[in-house]
Amino acid sequence: MKPDQPSEALGPLKLRAEDEDDLSVIAACLQDALVRFGDMSYLPRQRLFAGVFNRFRWEAEGDTAPVRGERLHQRVRTGVHFHYVQEVRSRGLERQRKDDVLSLLTIDTESGNDGAAVITLAFAGGADIRLGAECIDCQLTDVGPPWETRRKPEHDVGEDFPSGG
């Protein structure tokens, strides 16, 4: 990427979510992020679920000029932390397949009256990870510079997405 391109002016994202509306913004930023299953971890003593994703930079779309007639896009490494997590359940994932690459579709949230929440990371292919948390407390931080990619995530118009963020 050339230093004078406008997308660099956007800088790295650093976001925090403390309610469903905040988390929907993080979900939008993480849509179509790629993650190796082994790059996500639950630390029960710290009540922390964390992952390092390759996030598609939707906010930079339209900023890159075509190269040899082909439009380039951007991805960036992004750390995501969910705090106050009491339990983690997964469906459609095999723990021993740490190198499997997953594509995040959305993050869905169900909040209870007491502030507790069930946060679901929904992946393509029907797999998901459900976090039972005391409250919504999530941080997203871009780490490192973005890189160019020729591939832009696309979905069939009729594709059925999970509800939520």
Q: Would you say 89 and 100 are in contact if contact means Cβ atoms under 8 Å apart?
A: no
Secondary structure E strands in the chain: 14-17, 34-36, 40-43, 48-56, 73-83, 85-91, 101-111, 117-123, 128-133, 138-142, 147-149
The domain segmentation of the chain, as residue ranges, is: 15-149
What is the b/e burial string over 128-148, where b = at least 16 CB atoms within 10 angstroms of the residue's CB?
A: bbbbebeebbbebebeeebee
pLDDT of amino acid 75: 93
Q: What is the pLDDT along the chain (165 residues), one digit of tens a residue?
A: 333 344 455 789 999 999 999 999 999 999 999 999 999 999 999 999 999 999 999 888 765 555 666 778 899 999 999 999 999 999 998 887 888 899 999 999 998 888 899 999 999 999 999 999 999 999 999 999 999 888 888 766 554 544 443
pLDDT of amino acid 50: 98
pLDDT of amino acid 4: 38
pTM, to two decimals: 0.83
pLDDT of amino acid 9: 55
What is the rounded CA–CA span in Å between residue 59 and residue 43? Answer: 31
Q: Would you say 76 and 1 are in contact if contact means Cβ atoms under 8 Å apart?
A: no
Q: Would you say 80 and 139 are in contact if contact means Cβ atoms under 8 Å apart?
A: yes
